[in-house]
Amino acid sequence: MKPINEFYVRKIMREKLNEIIFGTTTRAGRNFDLILLLLILISVLIVMFESVQVWRSEYPRFFYFAEWGFTIFFTIEYLVRIAVSPNPLKYIKSTWGIIDLLAILPTYLTPFISGYTSLRAIRALRLLRVFRILKLNRFTSEAQALFHSLRASYYKIMVFFFFVLMIMILTGTMMYVIEGGEHGFDSIPASIYWAIVTTTTVGYGDITPATELGKILSSVMMITGYVIIAVPTGLITVGMARYKDDGKKDNVCDNCGHDNPFGSIYCNQCGEEVLS
């Protein structure tokens, strides 16, 4: 009976591990996710600090060992995920599977490339794994509410952006003509970059109008941008206010058709019981 027993133990072990590693509903699953999250954040912080010249040259050994330590841990985690998954291929091909692989791959490739290259910085993209937190409970519901309320105004915001982009391109071109290709307005794309920096009120000041007419046009643009910036805010605010209203759909009164607010038990127009 030993082989059967062994097989049985293995199956239970795999299921248990699967629950811990992939699950989010059990206590163990949640704890595993939180610890993993912490390790990812620490490893990303180390990548960040390694990018600072001074620290890189001062503690080369620390960064070397820390990086390999984390990579080996994440590799083991990745392999266990494959082993434990009921459908390993599906996991490997999934978005999360690819992100998990990308989080460890750069370190294995660095020995073949010299210097502190961009490849090394790319390791910071393992931060994407942090979004796994979205699977955790309370976080999800709040994030969903946020996204749903934005989805309502999605199309309107797109139309708005189409206009804003067209205006930015047109004003950018006009500024290029006005400033005569000088004072940083060297080309139309550069002028459009300036228009974006200005209309979004970022205003670096790396390119600023130097001619009288240029200053007048930018002034008009800024004051217009002043109102324009209010449009997405209005759209999103109304969308959010609406979302909560629309969320009530289950409270429409069967008797008088009144759309009662969320949580209603009796219709506030006719007093009928609302079946929710």
Does 254 interact with its own copies (rule: CB under 8 A)? Answer: no
* Ranges within 112-141 binding its own copies (CB under 8 A): 116, 118, 121-122, 124-125, 127-128, 130-131, 133, 138-139
Nearer to its own copies, 41 or 80 (CB): 41
Nearer to its own copies, 82 or 150 (CB): 150
Nearer to its own copies, 2 or 138 (CB): 138
Which range touches its own copies (CB under 8 A), out of 3-11, 20-28, 103-111, 238-246? Answer: 238-246
| Cα 21 from Cα 85, distance rounded (Å) | 9
| Residue of the chain from 204, 213, 249, 254 that contacts its own copies (CB under 8 A) | 204
Residue 111 beta carbon to its own copies: minimum distance, rounded to whole angstroms: 19
Does 157 interact with its own copies (rule: CB under 8 A)? Answer: yes
Residue 85 beta carbon to its own copies: minimum distance, rounded to whole angstroms: 26
* Ranges within 209-228 binding its own copies (CB under 8 A): 212, 215, 218-219, 222-223, 225-227
Q: Which residues contact 24 (CB under 8 A, 6 or more apart)?
A: 30, 33, 135, 136, 137
| Residue 272 near residue 266, CB atoms below 8 Å | yes
Please write down the long-range contacts of 153-157, taking CB distance under 8 Å and 24 or more positions apart.
153/235, 153/236, 153/238, 153/239, 156/235, 157/232, 157/235, 157/236
Nearer to its own copies, 80 or 236 (CB): 236
| Residue of the chain from 17, 66, 104, 267 that contacts its own copies (CB under 8 A) | 267
Q: How many residues bind its own copies (CB under 8 A)?
A: 102
Does 188 interact with its own copies (rule: CB under 8 A)? Answer: yes
Structure tokens at 42: 């620490």
Does 66 interact with its own copies (rule: CB under 8 A)? Answer: no
Residue 204 beta carbon to its own copies: minimum distance, rounded to whole angstroms: 4
| Residue of the chain from 21, 40, 44, 104 that contacts its own copies (CB under 8 A) | 44
| Residue 176 near residue 191, CB atoms below 8 Å | yes
Cα torsion angle, 69, 76, 131, 94, sign:
positive
Does 109 interact with its own copies (rule: CB under 8 A)? Answer: no
Does 180 interact with its own copies (rule: CB under 8 A)? Answer: yes
| Cα 189 from Cα 173, distance rounded (Å) | 8
| Residue 82 near residue 92, CB atoms below 8 Å | yes
Which range touches its own copies (CB under 8 A), out of 8-16, 27-35, 57-65, 236-244? Answer: 236-244
| Cα 3 from Cα 193, distance rounded (Å) | 69
| Residue of the chain from 43, 71, 110, 264 that contacts its own copies (CB under 8 A) | 264
Nearer to its own copies, 16 or 183 (CB): 183
| Cα 236 from Cα 2, distance rounded (Å) | 63
Q: Which residues contact 267 (CB under 8 A, 6 or more apart)?
A: 253, 255, 256, 258, 260, 273, 274
